[in-house]
Amino acid sequence: MGAQQVREAFAELYGAEPEGVWSAPGRVNLIGEHTDYNDGFVMPFALPHMATAAVSRRTDGVLRLHSSDVEGGVVELSSDTLAPESDRTWTSYPAGVVWALREAGHPVTGADIHLSSTVPTGAGLSSSAALEVVIALALGDLYELGLPRWQLARLCQRAENVYVGAPTGIMDQTASACCEQGHALFLDTRDLSQRQIPFDLAAEGLRLLVVDTQVKHAHSGGEYGKRRAGCEKGAALLGVDALRDIPYADLDAALARLGDEDEVRRLVRHVVTEDQRVERVVALLESGDTRAIGPVLTEGHASLRDDFRVSCPELDLAVDTSLAAGALGARMTGGGFGGSAIVLTETADVDTLTKAIEESFATAAFTAPRVFEAVPSAGARRLI
Ligand code: ADP
Ligand code: MG
């Protein structure tokens, strides 16, 4: 939905024009998976899909929330009494942002909010971060809080971790808040330092496809927790704060020290090699050799499938079919156990690849995937 439509819908709903309209995008992670809770490197870029919110301030403490994507009308809360709850609903995300802002001492005295999003939910494309960041940016602007983007992202992460109760790293919110059009964001999740890396695919005759498998395997939450715990155990056994502290050059020695801890050894190998893959992709893009990142993406998939073990048959099929049909590289993206894969391809091969992926899913009797192009797009911004 466009900015004007969101503005008009707000006016109809609340009987007055909004003070402004903002947007924040979903994201795809190009490389650097399961590294963010190991203090490592990630490299997301923003999608053209985004959450758009029309917002006005209130002075009476009332928080009114409405999403055109959810049944059930306006939800009214009191911003003075917000507290993390156990039963999470969609309103927990925007309410959590207001809570996090107020907790940090910012005088947010209520708001009327109407939003609409084109980010598919639960596809590993971060519809939740888009929702949080658009609200944080809007309130930050209206209440003139002067918060830098990285800090907005931190507050949104806190909203999701503490208020919503979902353990996520800092990547999604930072991507939505800080990405720039035609770039991928090289982010060090330890100190939050970041660098915009030129990633203009179209100019090089390339495309990046997203294959949303439309599946979410039920055990994903518990498995995420197990991987996190395994990584923490690896760091403890190796005597470092986080696996990020194992240099790639020391990997073999570190693995040898882990003795018969087979599972931990696999997790450590993934995280350390994945950080190195992010650095290789950055170097290749900065030297202008975009095609050469393909094999690095594919290596990343093998590592997630065989060492970290977070892939699933649908993701493997999307990757294998793409490579067999001539893609330059492909890998699962996001946490795994469903969600989406990305495929780097020559522009000329897009139709052939899309057809091959769709046919392979039909043959395997999997749910039909949604295949679309991901153009590196702008981060969060004010539209009106
Ligand atoms: P992801 O971030 O990968 O899409 P999450 O489970 O983290 O998946 O977040 C999805 C949740 O975010 C939805 O279940 C819903 O509660 C909330 N959400 C996302 N987009 C919207 C929207 N447009 N309107 C209302 N709630 C939304
Ligand atoms: Mg999310």
358 CA to centre of ligand 1 in angstroms: 26
**Both tokens of residue 103?**
């907790």
Say yes or no: CB of residue 126 within 6 Å of ligand 1. yes
Say yes or no: CB of residue 131 within 6 Å of ligand 1. yes
Q: Judge contact between 254 and 238, C-beta under 8 A.
A: yes
Provide CB contacts within 8 A for 187, sequence distance 6+. 41, 42, 43, 44, 170, 171, 174, 175, 178, 193, 194
Runs of H (alpha helix) within the chain = 3-14, 92-103, 127-142, 149-158, 171-178, 220-238, 251-257, 262-286, 293-302, 313-324, 350-363
State the pLDDT confidence band at 168, using cuts at 50, 70 and 90. confident
Q: Which of 131, 163, 172, 214 to mutate to test the pocket of ligand 1 (most atoms within 8 A of CB)?
A: 131
Looking only at the bridges linking them, the beta strands covering 329-333 and 194-198 are unpaired
Rounded CA-CA distance 93/29 in Å is 21
Sheet arrangement for strand 329-333: 329-333, 338-346, 206-216, 370-373
Q: Average per-residue pLDDT in the chain?
A: 96
Report which protein residue has its CA nearest ligand 1's atom 16. Answer: 90
Looking only at the bridges linking them, the beta strands covering 62-67 and 111-117 are parallel
CATH of 200-373, one of 3.40.50.1100, 3.90.1150.10, 3.30.70.890, 2.60.120.380: 3.30.70.890
2 CA to centre of ligand 1 in angstroms: 19
What integer pLDDT is reported at residue 9 of this predicted model? Answer: 98
Among the ranges given (84-93, 167-176, 193-202, 313-322), the one the predictor scored with the smallest mean pLDDT: 84-93
Say yes or no: CB of residue 67 within 6 Å of ligand 1. yes
What integer pLDDT is reported at residue 247 of this predicted model? Answer: 98
Report which protein residue has its CA nearest ligand 1's atom 7. Answer: 128
**Both tokens of residue 365?**
């009797």
268 CA to centre of ligand 1 in angstroms: 31
Which ligand is nearest to the Cα of residue 335, counting in written order?
1
Rounded CA-CA distance 318/320 in Å is 6
State the pLDDT confidence band at 124, using cuts at 50, 70 and 90. confident
Say yes or no: CB of residue 68 within 6 Å of ligand 1. no
Rounded CA-CA distance 296/331 in Å is 9
162 CA to centre of ligand 2 in angstroms: 14
Share of the chain above pLDDT 70, in %: 99
Q: Judge contact between 298 and 331, C-beta under 8 A.
A: yes
Radius of gyration of the chain (CA): 21
Say yes or no: CB of residue 93 within 6 Å of ligand 1. yes
State the pLDDT confidence band at 295, using cuts at 50, 70 and 90. very high
**Model confidence over 31-85: pLDDT tens digits?**
999 999 999 999 999 999 999 999 999 999 999 999 999 999 999 999 999 999 7
Whether 307 is a known active-site residue: answer no
Look at the domain 3-196+378-382 and name its fold: Ribosomal Protein S5; domain 2 (3.30.230)
What integer pLDDT is reported at residue 372 of this predicted model? Answer: 96
Average pLDDT over residues 197-222: 90
Which ligand is nearest to the Cα of residue 164, counting in written order?
1
What integer pLDDT is reported at residue 221 of this predicted model? Answer: 74
3-196+378-382 and 200-373 agree in CATH topology: no
Q: Which atom of ligand 1 is nearest to the CA of 67?
A: 24
Which ligand is nearest to the Cα of residue 124, counting in written order?
1
**Model confidence over 257-273: pLDDT tens digits?**
999 999 999 999 999 99
Share of the chain above pLDDT 90, in %: 93
What integer pLDDT is reported at residue 87 of this predicted model? Answer: 79
Report which protein residue has its CA nearest ligand 1's atom 8. Answer: 122
Q: Which of 74, 87, 127, 224 to mutate to test the pocket of ligand 1 (most atoms within 8 A of CB)?
A: 127
Domain ranges (residues) in the chain: 3-196+378-382, 200-373
Which ligand is nearest to the Cα of residue 119, counting in written order?
1
Asked if pLDDT for residue 219 goes beyond 80, the answer is: no
Residue of 36, 39, 112, 172 with catalytic role: 172
Q: Is 327 left (phi over 0), alpha (psi -120 to 50) or beta?
A: beta
What integer pLDDT is reported at residue 222 of this predicted model? Answer: 86
Between 87 and 269, name the one with better pLDDT: 269
Say yes or no: CB of residue 69 within 6 Å of ligand 1. yes
Average pLDDT over residues 157-166: 94
Say yes or no: CB of residue 168 within 6 Å of ligand 1. no
**Both tokens of residue 54?**
């029309």
132 CA to centre of ligand 2 in angstroms: 10
348 CA to centre of ligand 1 in angstroms: 34
Q: Which atom of ligand 1 is nearest to the CA of 90?
A: 16
Report which protein residue has its CA nearest ligand 1's atom 9. Answer: 128
State the pLDDT confidence band at 297, using cuts at 50, 70 and 90. very high
Asked if pLDDT for residue 153 goes beyond 80, the answer is: yes
**Both tokens of residue 291?**
């095609």
